[in-house]
Amino acid sequence: MEENIINMPLLGDDFPELEVQTTHGSMNIPGDFKGKWFVLFSHPADFTPVCTTEFVAFQKRYEAFKKLDCELVGMSIDQVFSHIKWIEWIKEKLAIEIEFPIIAGNDSVAMKLGMLHPGKGTNTVRAVFVIDPKGKTRLTIYYPQEIGRNMDEILRAVKALQISDNNGVAIPAGWPNNELIRDRVIIPPANTTKDAAERLKKYDCFDWWFCHKKL
């Protein structure tokens, strides 16, 4: 009996090439987003309560994502006509227009992305992938079907990744409201004894291995 092999893109991997049908037409992912950040997120099924709250939450933050030059792409294994009818329902009943594309996935696509977890039924789990402008996988999160996501955390993660890339720094827990250093960022570890000593003079430090600064 042939077994389905569940793959998932690991951090730093090239995101798998996908030719998909969406509510905005045919797309090549990640090729169509070359040079941009994007968040691809899956949901178990259209016309379900938790997924509806998630799509409304993503749409309400869509402008904030776009200000980061980051696009949103939804996905489930429902067909395109189901997606279209669902977003029409959301617009009519909730007065929210979903502006980002939704992929009509299939088992092959879902398996490439590790979205089908046999222990959780036949629907896709709530997966989140953050992809950078080079098509590299930078963050992955998997939620079970019964728990909705926190979109502010996903938005925070994209901001943090961009700041880390652009400034060569690390980002503390809960940034920009960290309990120790608030909105400051962390200097990468010293590699030599000379560098360790100089850090104490150059930056604010708890010790030479924990130095931080304002952006």
Q: Using alpha carbons only, give the angle 153, 159, 161 rounded to the nearest 5 degrees.
A: 100
C-alpha span between 210 and 191 (Å, rounded): 13
Catalytic residue among 51, 70, 205, 211: 51
- Quote the CA–CA distance of 106 and 40 in Å, as a whole number: 15
User: What's the one-letter identity of residue 31?
Assistant: G
Give the integer Cα–Cα distance in Å for 179 and 169: 18
Residue 117: how many CA atoms within 13 Å on its side-chain side?
14
User: Of all helices (H) and strands (E), which one includes residue 197?
Assistant: helix 193-202
- Concerning whether 211 is annotated as a catalytic residue, the answer is no
Q: Would you tell me how many other CB atoms lie within 10 Å of the CB of residue 116?
A: 21
Any residues with CB less than 8 A from the CB of 210 and at least 6 apart, and which?
186
Kindly list the catalytic residues: 51
